[in-house]
Amino acid sequence: MKDKLITVLKIVISLGLMAYLFYRFLSDPLDRTVLLNTLTTANYWYLLLALVLYVIAVITNALKWHILLRAQGVPVPLGAVANYTFVGFFFNNFLPANVGGDIMRGYGLARYTERSAEAAVSVVVDRIIGTLAFMFTAVVAALLVVYVIPAEQNADQSLTDSLTYVGGVAIIGTVTIAVIFAMMLSHRLRQLIGKLFAIKFLQPLQPLYQQLSGAFGAYRYQYGALLGAFSVGVATVLLTGLVDVIIVAGLPGKINPIYIFLFNPIIAVALAAPISIGGLGTMSLLYVYFYGLVGTPGTLAFALSLVKQAIIYLGSLPGGVLWLRRRTRGGRNDSIEGQTEELKGVERSVRESV
């Protein structure tokens, strides 16, 4: 019942926000004309290129995960990792059920390798590295916007103050995530937490904690792999930003690319909060808000968000095809209903470990 209520709440939030935004931009005749003109006069060759770049970004995201799995000593072909990554994107963006894409790809990897703890931890570390890459890119973009771009482009002091604030939030977020990750890798801290499992009612969970702790410990001295994964993560962030740049190039309007590389990672991190279905509604609202800070017309920001949402959906469809093929081969045990309990077990393991 709780899962159903959460799903209903996500649907209500998504539909409610989209209804509000469409009413805002369609109720005014001028805004409606501009929005429809922006969407109908788009250069669809640019939008097709943006879709290709998005798919490439998903593949580079799989490469990042593959590097982390190799560092952990889990031998999985890159093709299989890409398969599970696309499936995860499909679940994130299309299914309203309370089964996230990270859980689905972790579950698939656990079945493939029969190493549940390592699979769960690899997904957590992959998510952390990816978030760090997004926040780092936002920090660099903020520094460029505030301190490097010629002063005449930032003549509006209120604009400079707003961007400085955004950059400050990005810096705090980056440092916080880095500290949390360092604590996860700390051998002493994991040993200290492990002592809690000597308590009688926690003793049955001790073997599970030891497995998860060992999986985290495998990354402790893998500095080269972590740096490599982080670098690929930054490349992925730049690709996703380039997707927005190409979309804007195909629309009748202009947005300075530096603002795209500033706001894109911050919006992506904000969308990690599971309050809507695949970011529907929340992404458009964030686009309108953030790009409004730099004077972008709301109609252009909303049109950009709609096209980006469509590209995300189209780019995630291969994951649905891959999942259906695997489900067909696997029979009933690969249905959503048959997987849910196992997925919840993996999810609990991850949450208890962190």
Which pLDDT value is given to residue 203? 66
What's the residue count for the chain?
A: 354
pLDDT at 354 over 50: no
* Residue from 156, 148, 138, 161 nearest 295 by CA: 156
Q: What predicted TM-score, i.e. pTM, was given to this entire model?
A: 0.82
pLDDT at 138 over 90: no
CB 60 within 8 A of CB 239: yes
pLDDT at 24 over 80: yes
pLDDT at 54 over 90: yes
pLDDT at 149 over 80: no
**pLDDT digit string (tens) for 61-89?**
999 999 998 888 888 899 989 999 999 88
Q: How far is CA 36 from CA 26, 28, 32, 244, in A?
A: 9, 12, 6, 19
Could you give the number of structural domains in the chain? 1
Q: What is the three-state SS of 154-206?
A: HCCHHHHHHHHHHHHHHHHHHHHHHHHHHHHHCHHHHHHHHHHHHCHHHHHHH
Percent of the chain residues past pLDDT 90, beyond the cut: 32
Helix, strand or coil for residue 244? helix
Cα distance between residue 283 and residue 16, in whole Å: 13
* Residue from 177, 91, 86 nearest 130 by CA: 177
Helix 116-143 × helix 223-249 angle, to 10°: 60
Give the structural domain span for 256.
2-353
